[in-house]
Amino acid sequence: MPGFAKRLERARVAPTIALTVRARELRASGADVVTLTIGEPDFATPPHAIAAAHAAALAGDTKYPPQDGTRALKQAVQRKYAREHGLDYGLDQIVVGNGGKQVIYDALLATVEEGDEVLIPTPFWSAYALMTHAVGGTPTFVSCPQNNGFRLRPEDLDAAITPRTRWLFLNFPNNPSGAACSPADLAALGEVMLKHPHVWILSDDMYEHLRYDDQEPSTLAAVEPRLADRVLTVSGVSKTYAMTGWRIGFGVGPKNLLRAMANTQGQVTAGVSTVGQAAAAAALDGPQDVVAASRASYRRRRDIVVDRLNDIPGLSCHRPEGAFYVFPNVAGCLDKISAGGRKISTDEDFAVALLEEEHVATVFGAAFGMSPYLRISYATDEAALEEGCRRIARFVAGLR
């Protein structure tokens, strides 16, 4: 039988996917499962975005698109960054991908040589390390401790950079911690990066509009313009506009990098769905009241979950500033036995036992590079969140 490429050994399945699959299996067997794993908004796509896709299809906009994005969507992205951050990007400084994930992968494929280091603050979205491994790079990690609000300290960043560092990844608001950076925080990180001109910087702003407590969106390219020739800013419509299935992400940045990324994408998938791009342009240019409404709902859900979890002895939950995740510490629940007889030595043990015994699906912190924590997504209805927290409390009460 023919074999497989060795690179496949580096392409591992993300733990978020594995636990979601197990939750689906339990549900298929008849179990009442509360799924708090996947970061997917439970709101509907805005009607005007759906109407724009329909109109594009009826108008015959169903042919091969430009591989770096349609002019209409790229112009909408231009207007977005000018309106929100005062940034002026040319059309040749914008690339559209099949979700933000492809944009990030395009950047890595275009720039990372075997053994190059990609600096990833922890906790981190597991895809960063998995994609880095897949292209032959070496993920290196710098801790963002809870006592600093899960934010990156400038001195830790400076100490972690080496001559082999190719990229710094920034993701604020953060998946999984929900931590957000103020303009002052970003300015301090920018000062460090000015000392290291050999390093590209990726600002993953996918959760940029999901900020609470009167925080305004901020991004490194606007805060520190002297880094403009090295910053790739990635965003999309998935989280802000509840359009995960439309698979539209975009990146903006220096012209030479974007040209290389477009070439890379052309070798893999070429262009992105024309009707999806029409919908994304309508979402960016259309009324933004849906964003404010969803943000208010997420804030209520955040407060419900944080308050319920902090009422459980053995758990400690930081109140995040953004995204739609909480990241409670479960250290007080380790080295115990569950009611079902499972030994709880790690956060993974906790998450697996919680799923099998109480049918609540979460993701263990080690999957994001930091233990002992759990990631809980509150991108679901309040009744499910209340029930999930009740079951977590019952599970913890049963530990001995």
DSSP letter assigned to residue 321: S
Of 259, 283, 217, the closest CA to residue 110 belongs to 259
Determine the pLDDT at residue 4. 84
Determine the pLDDT at residue 143. 97
Of 172, 295, 302, 204, the closest CA to residue 241 belongs to 295
DSSP letter assigned to residue 11: -
Determine the pLDDT at residue 284. 98
Determine the pLDDT at residue 319. 97
CATH 3.40.640.10 fits 47-285, yes or no: yes
Determine the pLDDT at residue 8. 74
Tens digit of each residue's pLDDT, the chain (400 residues): 788 887 777 767 777 677 778 888 999 999 999 999 988 999 999 999 999 999 999 999 999 999 999 999 999 999 999 999 999 999 999 999 999 999 999 999 999 999 999 999 999 999 999 999 999 999 999 999 999 999 999 999 999 999 999 999 999 999 999 999 999 999 999 999 999 999 999 999 999 999 999 888 899 999 999 999 999 999 999 999 999 999 999 999 999 999 999 999 999 999 999 999 999 999 999 999 999 999 999 999 999 999 999 999 999 999 999 999 999 999 999 999 999 999 999 999 999 999 999 999 999 999 999 999 999 999 999 999 999 999 999 999 999 9
19 phi, psi to nearest 5 deg:
-70, -35
CATH number of the structural domain 6-44+290-397: 3.90.1150.10
- Other C-beta atoms lying within 10 Å of the C-beta of residue 181: 26
Beta bridge partners of 233: 203, 252
- What are the extents of the domains in the chain? 6-44+290-397, 47-285
Question: For residues 210 and 320, is the Cβ–Cβ distance under 8 A?
Answer: no
E strand or H helix that includes residue 96:
strand 94-97
Of 368, 376, 287, 322, the closest CA to residue 207 belongs to 322
Domain 47-285 in the same topology as domain 6-44+290-397 = no
Distance CA 244, CA 183 (A): 28
Question: For residues 286 and 119, is the Cβ–Cβ distance under 8 A?
Answer: no
Determine the pLDDT at residue 328. 98
pTM attached to this predicted model: 0.95
DSSP letter assigned to residue 93: G
Query: What's the token pair of residue 215?
Result: 């925080």
**Size of the chain in residues:** 400
- CA pseudo-torsion sign 348, 38, 74, 263: positive
Determine the pLDDT at residue 59. 98
